[in-house]
Amino acid sequence: MPLLRTTRSLRTTALAGLLLAGTALAPMASATAAPLYKNPRASVADRVTDLMARMTLDDKVGQMTQGERGAATPAQSAAARLGSILSGGGSTPTPNTPAAWADMIDAYQKAATSTGLGIPIIYGSDSVHGHNNVYGATVFPHNIGLGAANDPRLVEKIGAITADETAATGVKWAFAPCLCVARDDRWGRTYESYGEVPANAVANSVVIEGLQGRALGDPTSVLATAKHFIGDGGTTGGDDQGNTQISLEELRRIHLPPFRAAVAHGVGSVMISFNSWNGVKDHGNKFLITDLLKGELGFSGFVVSDWNGIDQIDGQEGFTAAEVKQAVNAGIDMVMVPYDYQKFVATLKAEVLNGDVPMSRVDDANRRILTKKFELGLFERPYTDRSLQKDFGSAAHRAVARQAVRESQVLLKNDGVLPLAKQNNKIFVAGKNANDMGNQAGGWTLTWQGQSGERVIPGTTILDGIKAGAGKGTVVTYDRAGNGIDRSYQVAVAVVGETPYAEGQGDRPNGLGLDAEDLALVGKLKASGVPTVLVTVSGRPLDISAQLPSVKGLVAAWLPGSEGAGVADVLYGDYNPTGKLSFTWPKSSAQEPINAGDGQQGLFPYGYGLSYRRHHR
Ligand code: GLC
């Protein structure tokens, strides 16, 4: 076609003219073509290289900085070129809805992508048992219960649902799973551990596959975080953020295998632990972070510090240039400041300019961070995929959570009182944890510490489940304190245990016994002569040795989350209990730390759990 040919020949002449005139082809070509890093068909490695070549030191230092949403508005975040924003536990928009979360995060993305290079942020939140910061999310059993369930396939599915609900709100980075191996049950984070031996965390690290999906770029995928590296569950006395005083051999044998497994699962990030190892804070330990994690384990994702974690290196309040230098040179790639991000940015920049932090370290950190952002598809799809919100807290998701509750129940004693008859029964339910969504969900639920409250989140309490399961001719009475109990009742169910806590606020150095309210209740029920089933809702084994002889049945329910009816499914025998202890149950806290193979005789051994002899309908 003459026109086309003519056009082409004209263009050829023009190009020749430009070249002859010494005008580089690039400006004309770049005038129309996008920079390579914006080309989704280019390799991630090439996109990272191209982008980094365009970044200033301010850009690169900003990428290594994570601020809390309360510290930086979208405009401030973009001005500082922050690489990430997080929600600390309970740091939520108002209203606390998926739509409001998406609006909040999309505002950060709009500001970030409106800058010169348009590098999107990655938003992080603690989805540790579902997207637990958001009202209406499906809240799964905490890890201690999933360890007892011993069903990695189910845990992978839990990861996928958690990712789905997390991504639905615009959060593309979950600070989960905790792969800690809790060795002393007095530790406040015992419930975040799958079990007291590495095998439990190794088996359940498959949750990473669920969280990160088939490909990180899938709409429902989120970046997972193996945490906390390393030794958080091994501190002396179970002291949260304390000192893990063990040999390198024991560190490798007990606490390292879950991280090796996480790397094998392709985990995208690792969070460093607050604890010290033999007196040196992990956050400043180059041997652990660079030699062991990145070198020996070959971890190629990026390393993030914990909250204020670098502040603790010198044991003094606040962070110093020396601590920034030590933490970044140790191998930390992104620092969860989380508030004084301007001071951090200025300090790190100064440390680079004075040569104390080599540019090669900054470039390595940026390459790791940007690689994950490209793999997540954040450059192509920075905004929330709101189509996912239709499944948020769905019945289908809750059904999976209820199955996880069933499988996590551990039957520890049964003198024939279980399963409960559904028909023609008279059941007295008592205890502070029988009808309290907050207590059964535990910490990291809506707020950092969690909270008591009958209906703080939607779902079913254990009492709801017992009432719903009652059949023809059955009466169910509830009184928290057991008032009204008499011999007309055929069985009593006392749901006792702990109220919510998180981290150090859950440390119990002074004993693991029941509180006064629970002790009074057990005494009252014992005096009534009514056969009693004790159900413990707790983040760890409790000292119930003195109460055990006076009850006919004992079930460890752990922290079941939003679908408490799953506990009733086991009490009624609709599900024949399969749970097995992933923690040795101590006779008392005097035995702590007590773990499989240490020669001590607990009340119930690791791996113990009963079933009903015949399946009941
Ligand atoms: C907390 C926890 C860590 C969590 C982080 C962000 O202090 O140690 O597990 O991911 O801060 O909330």
Q: Do 426 and 335 lie in a common domain?
A: no
Helices 44-54/359-376 angle, 10° precision = 130
The residue-averaged pLDDT of 452-477 equals 98
How large is the greatest C-alpha to C-alpha distance in the chain, in angstroms? 105
As a dihedral over the C-alpha atoms of residue 449, residue 506, residue 518, residue 482, rounded to 10 degrees, the angle is 10
Kindly provide the residue ranges of all beta strands, DSSP E only, lying in 78-215, ordered along the sequence. Answer: 84-87, 122-125, 173-174
The residue-averaged pLDDT of 358-363 equals 98
Task: Place 412 in a pLDDT band, splitting at 50, 70 and 90.
Answer: very high
Q: Is residue 380 part of a domain?
A: yes
Q: Is residue 8 part of a domain?
A: no
Residue 227 Cβ < 6 Å to ligand 1: yes
Q: Do 208 and 318 lie in a common domain?
A: yes
Task: Place 32 in a pLDDT band, splitting at 50, 70 and 90.
Answer: low
Q: Is the pLDDT of residue 616 over 60?
A: no
Task: Place 3 in a pLDDT band, splitting at 50, 70 and 90.
Answer: very low
Q: Do 343 and 423 lie in a common domain?
A: no
Q: Do 417 and 325 lie in a common domain?
A: no
Pocket probe for ligand 1: among 307, 311, 503, 505, the residue whose CB has the most ligand atoms within 8 Å is 307
Distance CA 37, CA 23 (A): 24
Q: Do 256 and 132 lie in a common domain?
A: yes
Q: Do 385 and 470 lie in a common domain?
A: no
Q: Do 103 and 156 lie in a common domain?
A: yes
Q: Do 281 and 155 lie in a common domain?
A: yes
> What's the 116 CA to ligand 1 centre distance in angstroms?
32
Strand order in the sheet with 426-430: 410-414, 553-556, 532-537, 491-497, 426-430, 475-478
> Which CATH number fits the domain that encloses residue 464?
3.40.50.1700
Q: What is the reported pLDDT for 613?
A: 87
Q: Is the pLDDT of residue 17 over 70?
A: no
Annotation marks residue 306 as catalytic: yes
Q: Which amino acid is at 106?
A: D
Q: What is the reported pLDDT for 499?
A: 98
Ligand 1 atom 10 nearest Cα = 175
Q: What is the reported pLDDT for 30?
A: 52
Q: What is the reported pLDDT for 615?
A: 54
Residue of 375, 503, 569, 574 marked catalytic:
503
pLDDT of 99-125, one tens digit each? 999 999 999 999 999 999 999 999 999
Q: Is residue 25 part of a domain?
A: no
Q: Is the pLDDT of residue 252 over 80?
A: yes
Distance CA 339, CA 342 (A): 8
Q: Is residue 74 part of a domain?
A: yes
Pocket probe for ligand 1: among 131, 211, 306, 507, the residue whose CB has the most ligand atoms within 8 Å is 306
Ligand 1 atom 11 nearest Cα = 307
Count structural domains, the chain. Answer: 2
Q: Is residue 173 part of a domain?
A: yes
Residue 175 Cβ < 6 Å to ligand 1: yes
Q: What is the reported pLDDT for 33?
A: 81
Q: What is the reported pLDDT for 1?
A: 37
Annotation marks residue 503 as catalytic: yes
> What's the 64 CA to ligand 1 centre distance in angstroms?
17
The residue-averaged pLDDT of 395-405 equals 99
Vertex 409: Cα angle to 404 and 415 (nearest 5): 155
Q: Decide if 428 contacts 524 (C-beta within 8 A).
A: no
The residue-averaged pLDDT of 188-215 equals 98
Q: Is residue 534 part of a domain?
A: yes
Share of the chain above pLDDT 90, in %: 94
Q: Is residue 602 part of a domain?
A: no
Q: Is the pLDDT of residue 507 over 90?
A: yes
pLDDT of 529-564, one tens digit each? 999 999 999 999 999 999 999 999 999 999 999 999
Average pLDDT in the chain: 95
The residue-averaged pLDDT of 246-265 equals 98
The residue-averaged pLDDT of 80-87 equals 98
Q: Model-level pTM? A: 0.94
> Two tokens at 347?
């300090």
Q: Do 383 and 494 lie in a common domain?
A: no
Q: Do 311 and 434 lie in a common domain?
A: no
Residue of 306, 375, 518, 592 marked catalytic:
306
Q: What is the reported pLDDT for 31?
A: 59
Strand partners, 334: 304
Q: Is the pLDDT of residue 281 over 70?
A: yes
Residue 192 Cβ < 6 Å to ligand 1: no
The residue-averaged pLDDT of 14-43 equals 64
Element (DSSP H or E) covering residue 413: strand 410-414
Give SS3 for 93.
coil
Q: What is the reported pLDDT for 14?
A: 45
> Which CATH number fits the domain that encloses residue 162?
3.20.20.300
The residue-averaged pLDDT of 10-35 equals 50
pLDDT of 159-197, one tens digit each? 999 999 999 999 999 999 999 999 999 999 999 999 999
Closest residue by Cα to residue 190 from 556, 568, 455: 556
Q: Is the pLDDT of residue 6 over 90?
A: no
Last residue of a domain, one of 391, 425, 447: 391
Q: Do 248 and 200 lie in a common domain?
A: yes
> Two tokens at 261?
């497994």
Domain range enclosing 375: 42-391
Distance CA 323, CA 314 (A): 7
Closest residue by Cα to residue 503 from 128, 58, 171: 128
Strand partners, 429: 478, 493
Give SS3 for 485.
coil
Q: Do 384 and 240 lie in a common domain?
A: yes
Ligand 1 atom 8 nearest Cα = 306
Q: Is residue 597 part of a domain?
A: no
Q: Decide if 581 contacts 409 (C-beta within 8 A).
A: no
Which DSSP string do the residues of 539-556 spell out, in sequence order? SS--B-TTTGGG-SEEEE
Closest atom of ligand 1 relative to the 338 alpha carbon: 6
Ligand 1 atom 7 nearest Cα = 307
pLDDT of 34-75, one tens digit each? 999 999 999 999 999 999 999 999 999 999 999 999 999 999
Task: Place 246 in a pLDDT band, splitting at 50, 70 and 90.
Answer: very high
Q: Which amino acid is at 431?
A: G
> What's the 603 CA to ligand 1 centre distance in angstroms?
33
The residue-averaged pLDDT of 8-19 equals 44
